[in-house]
Amino acid sequence: VKAGRRINNVFFGICIFCSCAPLVLLILLTVGMSWPYPSLLPRVFSLRYFQYVFGDLQTLKAVITSILLAGFVTLLTLAIAVPAARSLALYKYRGKWLVELLVLAPLVVPAIAVSSGIQVTMIRLALSGSFLGVTLIHTVFALPYAIRIMTGVFEIISDRYEQQATVLGAGAAMTFFRVTLPMIMPGLLSAAAISFTISLSQYITTFLIGGGRIITVSMLLIPYIRSGQVQTAAVYSAMLIAAAMFSLFLMERAVRRFYNLETVVFI
């Protein structure tokens, strides 16, 4: 039994190494200045790549666009996903299976098919190249994740507590803000975090619907990897991760303070 446990520990250690070592590499890539072929570590460390990337006004604009876009996508996704998940978790009705299929569909139907198809309509409605158009298409691909998470949450908490609140005389608004919202908050945060990252990492949807007018960090990143400029690409990658982490951190702080929660668990 002991030997088995040791093998397990080694195995688990390898898993953790494999998932973390690449991140260390990413950091090295962003701060390594001169890193010619056979050397395993950078020879000089400096922040020149950061200076290079942030010295460009376009980068700052892209960072702001990405974060704003991801923020709006998150809000819209939650506003749509929460009622939909509630409906799926707590009610039985005709046609429910169709809705369930519709939730699964964006997980499997590729973004390229949907966005190149809808482009003509978007142009006709003057949504192509607009912030709103890109927000809508990102939201479609964030919704399945958010709805899956929230459906699970509503199934667990059910509506017993809300019924109690109603029996005790709470109105609809009070029930929602004082009972439902605090209970679904941890799930809501996971859903928000996932929606935010999904929006941040979108490329082809932004490219086709944004029509070159909405420039995000992901769109700046791709030409650099394609041309083999790994270190510049790494700085953009670090920015994507930092933006995601920072937003998660802010959301967690805000919620903890608001609801006096001890810990908020993500994912």
Distance of closest approach, residue 23 Cβ to another protein, in angstroms:
7
Q: Is 115 one of the binding residues for another protein (CB under 8 A)?
A: yes
The only residue of 51, 83, 156, 259 in contact with another protein, by rule CB under 8 A? 83
The only residue of 29, 67, 69, 191 in contact with another protein, by rule CB under 8 A? 29
Q: Is 230 one of the binding residues for another protein (CB under 8 A)?
A: yes
- Identity of the residue, 114 or 258, whose beta carbon is nearer to another protein in the bound complex: 114
The only residue of 62, 78, 137, 142 in contact with another protein, by rule CB under 8 A? 137
Task: Tell me the per-residue interface mask from 40 to 79 with another protein, x by CB under 8 A, - otherwise.
Answer: x--------------------------------------x
How many whole angstroms separate alpha carbon 160 and alpha carbon 156? 10
Distance of closest approach, residue 168 Cβ to another protein, in angstroms:
21
Distance of closest approach, residue 68 Cβ to another protein, in angstroms:
17
The only residue of 170, 222, 261, 264 in contact with another protein, by rule CB under 8 A? 222
Task: Tell me the per-residue interface mask from 159 to 198 with another protein, x by CB under 8 A, - otherwise.
Answer: ----------------------------------x---x-
Q: Is 107 one of the binding residues for another protein (CB under 8 A)?
A: yes
Q: Is 31 one of the binding residues for another protein (CB under 8 A)?
A: no
